[in-house]
Chain A
């Protein structure tokens, strides 16, 4: 055990993933914080957490609390994070990080001023496929990267009967597929190809329901380094899975199929050996009786628990003042700010039907 204690805020992804990953990294979960007293108590018992409470203040006042992890609806992240930072706790916060880039900068400044460790929940930086592909691209093995393709079409929410949490269907609470999924892809593009220069975008919905949040997105982007590409995804496409992560460069092309990474160039196609430090254990799904809505099923594969445990280990080591690896670089609130700038630009581009530049 690390001797570190954590409070987890959020009874859904917080329990399904945070609690399990934190424990695997040696944290003790001191309390679970939720909005609904009954559900919070049931989930705390179910996950064998001593305290279930609806008061973050009460949880922060418990002995042995070093850190807080936040897995609540996106627009509630900021007040929860600020309260934890003010109490001097280290904070790991889910993505999408904040309401917008301005709010994200407030959180970054507060965390820096308080001197706490701050991380964002983009765990797929430790995903075997994405992390290996990022190294291949940065090593120059495909020459200069020029054309990137990120596609993920799945039928998860196509059926109008498939349930999501109330906040997730509501754009004004930070719901929707852009924040849920594109936040990961934007982070992957930034890690692999560098910062975004600009975007055009559309935020369509395939499923016909009373949602204000989109279930699909289309983004055309260019990076400052001169790579162009698309990010296109739908959570409500009734067709077969369409999944591609692929970067073409001047000397070759690299792509992933799950954890498998391949490269093709003038000498032919070949597998890229997975570096030892990026090997992942098998997926570890949560118990099926914990999965209630279609939305919960997003986490049913268990593919995020391995990378999330690496994130939790990094959180632990940073808190303990230990050295951590530089690659994958730990995603901090500064990354939360950078990704929110891209998500803000995507929303503006979609609303204004224009190209929106990012950064300088």
Chain B
């Protein structure tokens, strides 16, 4: 167990969410963040200094030359994930990659196949699997509190980007770079539905622009879905709705209904015996000690949107799992950590949503053959 006696070194690629969340979560989990990698030398140096990271690099190759680098975490624009992940995998590094995982399912499969054949630890940045509310709801549904689940409603309308003065990074506004609200938020709720209710069978979707701006990427989406289990429901969200917050996460079944109160950890169930709040069990409570953000690091509306702080506690849990897997320690199976396999499954749903919206039709979600992937 000599390996567990030392600190694991990580390189963080990406100076936005990478610094705001990855660096802090990795450190809380005991990683040594050796370097930050960014495209712009001045910004990268400034961010490294601000977050107290020793090295600022403008290429992953250079960072991988540094001593003591065991792992790489990737928080760059989605369409750049694959190349970076493949470079890290080729050097035998463990990889934690942000969602949306890749450009499309085909690219996601390539990255998964490389990671599997290299035998490294690979995880996907769907940290809300460790959100106390979401994890408690998933457990409750799995335990049968609603009977047989039949319908699901997952809705989140926020005004973060409603104002045209609300800035987003250029890649985020650009559909051809993998930007937009479907990838940013839709990938999280798709993962939540998969964890809570199982795999998607088909979707009908609209990608909506509420903002009158030059953004080619959508700021809102509507998805009607059917799961292989027969559960049906809606995923609807907007980041640019001027109205009050509209937040609903509810699963209705043959015996009762379970729901999360807003975005809190309060999960409730109603059935023929009445209404009760479900306890948060097995270490799902929020972590207490979190490294605060340095002053002056949030510049755009987008920065503020991703820095709401809700994700840091679950991201720290994710980083701990990453650490434990690298060290060969046992990790809990519930919440089950999301790997690149989940990245592939999530991309298959995102691809179906985009195809449905573009072609105006119902689209069945491709069943990805993971056995075939492993054979590559």
* Chain A positions near chain B (C-beta within 8 angstroms): 143, 146-147, 149, 151, 153, 155, 159, 198, 200-202, 204-208, 216, 218-220, 222, 228-230, 232, 234, 237-240, 242, 244, 246, 248-255, 262, 264-266, 269, 349, 353-355
Contacts and interface: CB of A to CB of B under 8 A. Distances in A.
B241 A248 contact: yes
12 contacts: A151-B155, A220-B222, A230-B224, A238-B252, A239-B258, A248-B238, A253-B242, A255-B243, A264-B243, A269-B244, A353-B362, A355-B362
A207 B222 contact: no
Nearest to B254: A208
Interface of B: 147, 150-151, 153, 155, 157, 159, 162-163, 202, 204-206, 208-212, 220, 222-224, 226, 232-234, 236, 238, 240-244, 246, 248, 250, 252-254, 256-259, 268, 270-272, 275, 356, 360-362
Contacts of A248: 157, 210, 220, 238, 240-243
Contact of B242 (A205, A239, A265): A265
B362 A206 contact: no
Given A149-B236, A206-B151, A218-B224, A238 B270 contact: yes
Given A218-B234, A234-B151, A269-B244, A146 B362 contact: no
A349 B226 CA distance: 13
Contact of A239 (B209, B243, B250): B250
A228 B224 contact: no
Contact of B238 (A147, A222, A230): A147
A253 B243 contact: yes
Given A353-B226, A355-B362, A253 B153 contact: no
Given A220-B206, A222-B360, A353-B202, A230 B248 contact: no
Helix, strand, loop or mixed for chain B's interface? strand
B244 A232 contact: no
Contacts of A219: 224
Contacts of A239: 250, 252, 256-259, 268, 270
A218 B246 contact: no
A220 B360 contact: no
Contacts of A155: 270
A200 B224 contact: yes
A252 B242 contact: yes
Given A146-B208, A205-B150, A248-B220, A200 B362 contact: yes
Contacts of B211: 250
A-B CB proximity, top 9 nearest? A239-B257, A200-B204, A253-B243, A228-B206, A220-B224, A202-B232, A264-B242, A238-B270, A355-B361
Contact of A147 (B159, B224, B241, B252): B241
Residue from A159, A204, A219 whose CB has the most chain B CB atoms within 10 Å: A204
A254 B243 CA distance: 7
Contact of A204 (B150, B256, B356): B150
Contact of B210 (A147, A208, A240, A246): A147
